[in-house]
Amino acid sequence: MTNDSTLKGSTAVSHPTRIASAREKLQTGGDLPEDTVRPVIKDSWERCMDGHVDPLVAKRSLELNGDQLQNLRQQNQELISASDIIMSEVKELLAESGTIMHLVAPSGTILNYEGDPATLELASNYNLTPGANWSEHAAGTNAIGTALKNAASVQVHAFEHYCENISRWTCSAAVIRDPFERRLLGAVNISGLENTLHDYCLALAISGARRIEGQFAQLKLAKRDALLGATINRFASSGNDGVLLFDLDGKLVRTNPLADRVLAARGIRIDLTPYNPILTLNDEGDYFAEAVPVLNQIDPRWVEPVVHQGDTIGYLAVISLPSRHPQAPSGSTGNHMTSSPTPAETKGFGRLVGQSSVFQMAVQQAKRLAKAPIPVLLQGETGVGKELFARAMHEEGKTQNGEFVALNCGGLSRDLLAGELFGHVEGAFTGARRGGMPGKIEAANGGTLFLDEIGEMPIDLQPMFLRVLQESEICRVGETRPRKVNFRLIAATNRDLSQEVAEGRFRMDLYYRISSMTLTIPPLRERKGDVSLLAVNIFTHLLEQHSGGERRLSNSLLELLEKHSWPGNIRELSNLITATFFLSDQDELGPGDLPKDFIAANAETVNDRDSNPLDLAEKDVITRAIREQGGNLTKVAKELNIAKSTLYIKLKKYGLQRPQAL
């Protein structure tokens, strides 16, 4: 709020006739006298002059009819719902005060009003009713329009109004912002005849706006929880599909582990970082909407609405891996590049691919720990294969005849995670399933419970989980009867839990309970020689799944992969090989078949022009582009997104012949 937004000590209160005279002088072509009109009013008057606003009366032509108002209310339903409590309180609070409160849409159109009955009746004579537009271009300088224009609170009194027919009124308005994104949602306005002027009017408007913002935040978070709760089963039974969950704004809420691989296979590159509203709550600064919402980048044929209690609360996208060719007939034999068994045929530690000494050491430690009847904590960067290790330990451990139940502790609200872990009875929390539901701990009874990202478990849930480990019993959320459980715990984290303990984000007693045995899984960049083995293994499985024929990865491509640092570890490698498999039709895939952004990202490390496979990849890409564009270097440069002069330099660098016809 700017310093001149309030009326205290202003000429508008002490000498109103001076303001009236100044307004008339401006509207008749004169200059405003200095130090008479507040800057916020002066700027607004000048905007009204430039916009040719009628100085006598507001434009009634901008008043909505019944159907139009109903449509506008539907568009602003979340704002109206958030204001229900405040507006109902105002009805009694402002009775006999001579003032009324308006709830206003971002466009300046009044959505609702409540307050002193006599003033409500009087307001109809001045168009201060739902459906009327009070933006500056429609009604001149007024608290509603000027507050929305400046995105700040303001009071406008008597003759400060630009239009003469509302000069008997005083009004105070405060803007309402989305507490997560800071975008403008609308405004709250207090209006009355000029004799009702009081400092508390602006304070009441600001207080009302802040309370509406708080209610808006609670409703949005409750709807998000309901969305996550309504789709829990879809994530649990996703099979080989990629699953993405979106809110009504098209923002990504959650994905399953296969989503990035499936999208890569379809050549779709989008940021799969879920939107977390809590991280932006009350964050200061301007709001910048996403250029293209993530939902809009997904084929509508894959998207279905999520309906809860009759209302659409979000969208779910279920995307399958594409098939390159029709599946081979049952019983047919394909001539594949290796005889590696499929994932369904391989169990235990046979699933883990790698020959490097550091990796084999981790495998041997895991084999020993698999037989031990104690919790194990797996540590390692994201994407190193912690769940594969956990599953292998389960399949070769004493609980192999039981279920292997996995749960990621990240990305869920506190209530939903509690429900997922412990189960719940009907009505235990927002989004709880009708009839209740057993939790993952119960499902793992007699088997293994794998908790990924355990470091993200909320601090207040940690003692509840610790008690499960100590007493071997649980209570579902919302009930008091304990249930006996017996399971083997394997937890995983990419955080330094000892540091989390030191900083108070993780309980020391739980840390010592789950980390009696710790196994660190090495990142891919430290596993010398394993990248090629993994790449061939992934590629072979893709051939088997999609009847890919006799295709293979070239040595030059494998050499290039070995030189990459792999910040995303095995998950990054898997996504890259999958994308390359589906985006190329070559029998032998070379460096030039890799995605261009991968080649560009690695080109910065090129040192040896003659032997570095990155150079070979770039040369291959340029050669192909020249062939595809029929030798037109202008089109080649445009396709590669480089300057034509840069292209000439690269032609010389790689000894490529310049085409005759340019």
Q: What three-state secondary structure class fits 86?
A: helix
Q: Using CB atoms within 10 A of its CB, is residue 347 exposed (0-12), middle (13-18) or buried (19+)?
A: middle
Residue ranges of the chain assigned to CATH 1.10.8.60: 528-653
Q: Which helix (H) or strand (E) holds 639?
A: helix 633-640
Residue 507 has pLDDT above 90, yes or no: yes
- Give the integer Cα–Cα distance in Å for 59 and 132: 9
Residue 278, token pair as written in the block: 């809590």
Residue 223, token pair as written in the block: 């709807």
Residue identified by tokens 């989980």 is 465
pLDDT of residue 660: 47
Residue 52, token pair as written in the block: 């040719």
| Residues ≥6 apart with Cβ < 8 Å to 13 | 7, 157, 197
Residue 470, token pair as written in the block: 């100590």
| Mean pLDDT of the region 107-125 | 94
**Whether the Cβ atoms of residue 421 and residue 483 lie closer than 8 Å to each other:** no
pLDDT level of residue 627 (50, 70, 90 thresholds): confident
CA angle 509, 511, 517 (to 5 degrees): 120
Q: What three-state secondary structure class fits 204?
A: helix
| CATH code for the domain defined by 234-319 | 3.30.450
pLDDT of residue 607: 41
> Minimum mean pLDDT among 17-26, 110-119, 425-434: which range?
425-434
Residue 34 has pLDDT above 90, yes or no: no
Q: Which helix (H) or strand (E) holds 471?
A: helix 462-471
- Judging by DSSP bridges, how do beta strands 517-520 and 311-319 pair with one another? unpaired
- Give the integer Cα–Cα distance in Å for 2 and 40: 8
Domain 11-221 has CATH 3.30.450.40: yes
| Mean pLDDT of the region 597-609 | 60
- Give the integer Cα–Cα distance in Å for 316 and 300: 10
Residue 433 has pLDDT above 60, yes or no: no
| Residues ≥6 apart with Cβ < 8 Å to 278 | none
| Mean pLDDT of the region 493-499 | 91
Q: What is the pLDDT of residues 186-221, one digit of tens each?
A: 999 999 998 988 878 999 999 999 999 999 988 888
Q: What is the CA radius of gyration of the chain?
A: 33
Please tell me which of 119-133, 320-334, 420-434 the model is most confident about, judged by mean pLDDT: 119-133
- Give the integer Cα–Cα distance in Å for 602 and 374: 43
Q: Which amino acid is at 467?
A: R
CB atoms within 10 A of CB 165: 17
104: closest CA among 61, 149, 59, 67?
A: 149
Residues in the chain: 662
491: closest CA among 408, 568, 569, 415?
A: 408
- Give the integer Cα–Cα distance in Å for 255 and 497: 25
Residue 275 has pLDDT above 90, yes or no: no
pLDDT level of residue 605 (50, 70, 90 thresholds): very low
DSSP per-residue codes, 339-371: -PPPTTT--GGGG-----HHHHHHHHHHHHHHT
pLDDT level of residue 661 (50, 70, 90 thresholds): very low
- Give the integer Cα–Cα distance in Å for 135 and 412: 41
Q: What is the pLDDT of residues 36-75, one digit of tens each?
A: 889 999 999 999 999 999 888 767 667 888 889 999 999 9
pLDDT of residue 183: 87
pLDDT of residue 1: 40
Residue 455 has pLDDT above 50, yes or no: yes
pLDDT of residue 218: 87
pLDDT of residue 328: 37
| Residues ≥6 apart with Cβ < 8 Å to 162 | 23, 44, 45, 48, 53, 55, 136, 140, 141, 142
- Give the integer Cα–Cα distance in Å for 355 and 118: 85
Q: What are phi and psi of 177, to 5 degrees?
A: -115, 150
Mean pLDDT for the chain overall: 84
| CATH code for the domain defined by 528-653 | 1.10.8.60
pLDDT level of residue 14 (50, 70, 90 thresholds): confident
Q: Where are the alpha helices (DSSP H) in 231-291?
A: 232-236, 259-265
> Minimum mean pLDDT among 510-514, 593-597, 628-632: which range?
628-632
| Mean pLDDT of the region 266-274 | 82
pLDDT of residue 333: 33
186: closest CA among 196, 176, 171?
A: 176
Task: HSE, CB side, 13 Å, CA atoms: give it for residue 341.
Answer: 10
> Minimum mean pLDDT among 27-41, 207-221, 395-409, 438-452: which range?
27-41
Q: What three-state secondary structure class fits 398?
A: coil
| CATH code for the domain defined by 357-521 | 3.40.50.300
Residue ranges of the chain assigned to CATH 3.40.50.300: 357-521
Distances in Å between the alpha carbon of 319 and those of 22, 245, 574?
Answer: 66, 11, 17
